[in-house]
Amino acid sequence: MHCFHSVVPLHLVESRDSRASSRDPWILSLMDAKAEASGDDAVPEAPEQSVVLISAGANHSVALLSGQMVCSWGRGEDGQLGHGDSEDRPVPTVLTSFDVPRITSVVCGADHTAAYSDDEMQLYSWGWGDFGRLGHGNSSDVFNPQPVVALQGMKIKQIACGDSHCLAVTVTGQVHSWGRNQNGQLGLGNNEDSLLPQKIKAFQGVCVKMIAAGAEHTTAITEDGHLYGWGWGRYGNLGLSDRDDRLVPEKVSSVEGEKMVLVACGWRHSVSVSSSGGLYTYGWSKYGQLGHGDFEDHLVPRKIEALKDVSISQIAGGWRHTMAVASDGKLYGWGWNKFGQVGVGDDVDHCSPVEVNFPDEQKIAQVACGWRHTLALTENKNVFSWGRGASGQLGHGEIIDRNTPKMIDALSLDGTACKQLESSNAVPMTAKVWVPPSKRFAIVPEENVSKPGNGTDKHAPEGDAKRMRV
């Protein structure tokens, strides 16, 4: 979960998919070719829609289409789907009421969602509002996208949503944060929740390139390649050689002199990629989510030896699993796999990276992790999902789990190519699956794990339950 999922800088969205604009030469050439094939007077067909961005939350998923349309599916109880109700939806459904020009990014938190309009220079958010995570100045739930007024007119290059807090990076490298802050994850120097975005003053004079948000911690990299961590650090997930919390960002010094270019957070672990493509992980590893071949926590970033000869181009952290895309388009996964969220055909935890197979050896362009499910976008514009499906978050119209990738037909060019998408007024899913609070909310599990070598939760804080809804 985003969650702890992949977070894509806004400036990468366009470079990754040149079809995001109707003025793009690729689309114009396609239209010209069709016109020539049909005669000089033929009217060009409308360009095909395709997915340019994916994100995953605790139990919901979103996609941004090339025409700036937003789709969402999965659990909707807290309004996180943005359809104006609290219904679950088992297939990708267009937010028909969200008619905003030039949406360039959509990102899931655990039970909320945020989107940014480049034309309007406006951030929108919706979903569960507890702790002020929506940035609207209150703790109310919101069932349709609403503007974050405090950030209006601010040019934002990247947004990150964790469990209960959010952050935004401006094009000038400043960072604003809001939401839950009981462990200092907002980086404001205190542990008070913030209902409105506030600038992180500790970054004064520092140009931040990218941020990532976990359950109660945050990581960042600067334009000069330095790695920072703050917030809850009990598992070493801040990379600062200890298990202490930090109320303000602190630089990670032990990265073997490598400059970092990418960062991601799992629930309580962190992932970073160096300029040479090396992959580093640190923090909680009870389920092998660090990928070092064991179940031991690591208090400083450690390079994954199993991928030392692989150049990594994108990363994503789930609740207890991790995914990485290599520069050759191969996808690797490891960690907790109870629901098949690693995608390798079993339900066994993996403490070392395993390659995920796709039909026709399709290359992966982007990956996103939810709490218990995973999404992937291929280079030829097909979307796959796997893992937990009890809330419809896999988008296949059913509520079953899957341990290997399955194409979401409605969103894929090899399927119906976004031509038959449901709209917000579609009939919602009627087959409800009750999920107990112990699974829905981020509570440190008291599970008896039979695997030898697995870590323990002895460092977990007592009574670490999220505020429950009533």
pLDDT of 99 = 86
- Whether 447 is in a domain gets the answer no
Query: Helices H, strands E: what count in the chain?
Result: 3, 29
- Whether 323 is in a domain gets the answer yes
Domain range for residue 151? 49-425
pLDDT of 380 = 95
Give the Cα separation of 55 and 375 in Å (integer): 7
- Whether 101 is in a domain gets the answer yes
pLDDT in tens, the chain (470 residues): 333 433 444 433 333 333 333 323 222 222 333 333 333 344 334 457 899 999 999 999 999 999 889 999 999 999 999 999 999 999 999 999 898 989 999 999 999 999 999 999 999 999 999 999 999 999 999 999 999 999 999 999 999 999 999 999 999 999 999 999 999 999 999 999 999 999 999 999 999 999 999 999 999 999 999 999 999 999 999 999 999 999 999 999 878 778 999 999 999 999 999 999 999 999 999 999 999 999 999 999 999 999 999 999 999 999 999 999 999 999 999 999 999 999 999 999 999 999 999 999 999 999 999 999 999 999 999 999 999 999 999 999 999 999 999 999 999 999 999 999 999 874 444 433 334 444 433 333 333 333 333 333 333 333 333 344 43
Give the Cα separation of 315 and 260 in Å (integer): 13
Query: Among 4, 63, 1, which residue's Cα sits nearest to residue 265?
Result: 4
- Whether 449 is in a domain gets the answer no
- Whether 448 is in a domain gets the answer no
Strand partners, 211: 220
Q: How many domains does the chain have?
A: 1
pLDDT of 326 = 98
Give the Cα separation of 200 and 188 in Å (integer): 6
Strands 89-94 and 422-423: parallel
- Whether 35 is in a domain gets the answer no
CATH number for the domain harbouring residue 235 = 2.130.10.30
- In whole angstroms, how far apart are CA 106 and each of 13, 56, 205, 282, 313? 10, 10, 28, 27, 20
Where are any strands of DSSP class E within 163-226?
165-170, 175-179, 194-199, 208-213, 217-222
- Whether 38 is in a domain gets the answer no
pLDDT of 288 = 98
Contact 354, 341 (CB under 8 A): no
Give the Cα separation of 281 and 301 in Å (integer): 5
- Whether 445 is in a domain gets the answer no
Helix (H, G, I), strand (E, B) or coil at 437: helix
Give the Cα separation of 156 and 10 in Å (integer): 8
- The Cβ of residue 45 has, within 10 Å, a number of other Cβ atoms equal to 11
Query: Among 352, 320, 317, 316, which residue's Cα sits nearest to residue 334?
Result: 352
pLDDT digits (tens, 9 = 90+) for 327-371: 999 999 999 999 999 999 999 999 999 999 999 999 999 999 999
